[in-house]
Amino acid sequence: MRHFGELYIDGQWVAPSTEGTRSLVDPTSEEPWATVASGGGVPDVDRAVAAARRAFVTFSRTTVQERIALIDRVIAAYERRAPELSALIAQEVGVPVSFSAQVTGPAGHMRVARDLIADYAFEQRIGDVVVRREPIGVCALISPWNWPLQTSVIKVVYGIAAGCTMVLKPSDAAPASGVALAEIMDEAGVPPGVVNLVIGRGSVVGDALSSHPGVDMVSFTGSTGAGVKVGESAARTVKRVCLELGGKSANVVLPDGDLEKAARWNVQRGFSNSGQSCHAPSRMLVHEYQVSDVLPFLVEEVERLRVGDPRDPATTHGPLIHAQQYASVQRHIEIGLAEGGQLITGGPGRIEGFDRGFFCRPTVIADVTPGMTLAQEEVFGPVLVVMAYRTEAEALEIANDSVFGLGGYVFSEDPARGYAFASGLQAGRVSFNGAATDSFSPMGGYKQSGIGRSMGVFGLEEYLEVKSVYGFPDRAEALPERR
């Protein structure tokens, strides 16, 4: 049995200040597969932040080319370990090895960040004023368990690209992925103190980082409830926060939309990662006269899914992360049926043939109305609700009737009609007819889905502070070289 017992601080693997270990449970077998240190405490956070502050003095002054070379080394180290990483997250969080985007995606994000800074204007002029964008400082990076590698990589690589130093706290449910990433940073020769890793509970390590006076910015991805606590803690020292929080995204099929395409795409996108994605289209809005037409397509597509051991290449959908998440999804399904939802496929209880593992039946429930629990709360599991609307105005009202505003989806055969509808959605990302998103455009949410953006230029600028320098003549030779 493996043991993850150390933290990574100032370029060294060190023992945490607190004693004790706990088990990591394989979500497929429900058996322990590794042990991990119980978690760091406030003294460990203090050590990590101090190391990051020392490193910032030098790393913030590195050139763009130096940081590009460093990112290249990180990419090479990451890709050498890709097969191992795929096996790790299959065991740690139940991500199928067939879901390659969880492992290949991070390298792509690193390349985008690397290429972006090659041409980014860290300095520009407004008359005689030089406007500089400088690294903001020490960043606390708090990552979730559902995309344990990709989310952490995006945070870390944009911090490096900007010239910041950082302390990474992976999810308490997926610490092994964080350890692997720190090992990669070490192998790539990231200077001591630039990237530090502290494992521990959010209520201890996360709060200590968020409120720490030595931290200049907090980037957090997770639930809205936890994000509120991060924001409250960060406000005590008036630091910048970038929060990507919950979602209850609507997929609106306009009357002229391709029902079959919309239905099949909704199942494929919404149930990927076993529905444990904040952007999942978990509400499908269909015109009232077309609901009966779309349901057979949904059932047929659900039946194509292959739920099973995530280490089996034939598996498309693995288990949920842990017993608590499984219980939460089961509770939501039962509430949805008790409130009047019509079960179309799936339902509560174990999948036939599975006597262990946190496997959830892929479920579709129709006749869901805006006031029902399943229409309002984020389930974070393979559960899709189908909702009827009478007019496009009502569809827009239903889609926006949520405290969340992370993603939105529109299907229509008329691009002008679809764009007009998409423009009315209160969401940070909207996809038309199943169009794929990319790593260059910003990701983030409206309302209680968050503050700030990640990825691309907007994501880079979350790690930069703006300075105006007055009085310099408009001559290039009078200025120092651009970083």
- Polymer length of the chain: 483
Q: What is the pLDDT of residue 69?
A: 98
Compute the distance between CA of residue 44 and CA of residue 381 in angstroms, rounded to an integer: 34
Compute the distance between CA of residue 93 and CA of residue 57 in angstroms, rounded to an integer: 37
| 252 contacts: CB under 8 Å, gap ≥ 6 | 285, 395, 396, 399, 408, 409, 410, 411, 421, 425
Q: What is the pLDDT of residue 127?
A: 86
pLDDT in tens, 1-52: 899 999 999 999 999 998 889 999 999 999 999 999 987 899 999 999 999 9
Q: What is the pLDDT of residue 475?
A: 53
Mean pLDDT calculated for residue range 180-190: 98
Q: Give the residue from 165, 168, 164, 166 showing the smallest Cα distance to 133.
A: 164
Given 92, 134, 139, 244, the catalytic residue = 244
Compute the distance between CA of residue 242 and CA of residue 52 in angstroms, rounded to an integer: 19
| 456 contacts: CB under 8 Å, gap ≥ 6 | 112, 116, 439, 440, 441, 442
215 class by beta-carbon count within 10 Å (0-12 exposed, 13-18 middle, 19+ buried): buried
pLDDT at 483 exceeding the cut of 90:
no
CB-facing half-sphere around the CA of 122: CA atoms within 13 A: 22
> Is residue 197 helix, strand or coil?
strand
Q: How big is the CA angle at 214 (ends 210 and 216), to the nearest 5 degrees?
A: 65
Q: What is the pLDDT of residue 40?
A: 81
Mean pLDDT calculated for residue range 106-118: 98
Compute the distance between CA of residue 149 and CA of residue 268 in angstroms, rounded to an integer: 21
- The residue type of 7 is L
Mean pLDDT calculated for residue range 403-430: 98
Compute the distance between CA of residue 469 and CA of residue 132 in angstroms, rounded to an integer: 8
User: Is 139 in the active site?
Assistant: no
Task: List the beta bridge partners of residue 414.
Answer: none
> Is residue 138 helix, strand or coil?
strand
Compute the distance between CA of residue 248 and CA of residue 447 in angstroms, rounded to an integer: 12
Compute the distance between CA of residue 392 and CA of residue 398 in angstroms, rounded to an integer: 10
pLDDT in tens, 55-64: 999 999 999 9
Do 113 and 120 contact (CB within 8 A), yes or no? no
Q: What is the pLDDT of residue 481?
A: 52
pLDDT at 278 exceeding the cut of 80:
yes
Tokens standing for 413? Answer: 């055969």
Q: Give the residue from 297, 258, 476 showing the smallest Cα distance to 386.
A: 297
pLDDT at 236 exceeding the cut of 70:
yes
> Would you place residue 113 in the very low, low, confident or very high pLDDT band (cuts 50, 70, 90)?
very high
Mean pLDDT calculated for residue range 398-406: 98
Compute the distance between CA of residue 131 and CA of residue 124 in angstroms, rounded to an integer: 5
- CATH 3.40.605.10 residue ranges in the chain? 2-245+449-478
pLDDT at 476 exceeding the cut of 60:
no
Of the candidate CATH numbers 3.40.50.300, 3.60.20.10, 3.20.20.70, 3.40.605.10, the domain formed by 2-245+449-478 belongs to 3.40.605.10
Task: List the beta bridge partners of residue 140.
Answer: 167, 218
| 315 contacts: CB under 8 Å, gap ≥ 6 | 96, 97, 98, 306, 307, 308, 309
Compute the distance between CA of residue 451 and CA of residue 244 in angstroms, rounded to an integer: 7
pLDDT in tens, 348-381: 999 988 999 999 999 999 999 999 999 999 999 9
End-to-end Cα spacing for the chain: 47
Domain 249-432: CATH architecture, name and number where available? 3-Layer(aba) Sandwich (3.40)
User: Is 244 in the active site?
Assistant: yes
Q: What is the pLDDT of residue 128?
A: 86
- CATH 3.40.309.10 residue ranges in the chain? 249-432
Given 139, 164, 242, 278, the catalytic residue = 278
Compute the distance between CA of residue 431 and CA of residue 419 in angstroms, rounded to an integer: 10
Share of the chain residues as helix, strand and coil, in percent rounded to the nearest 5: 40, 20, 40
Q: What is the pLDDT of residue 38?
A: 82
Q: What is the pLDDT of residue 478?
A: 52
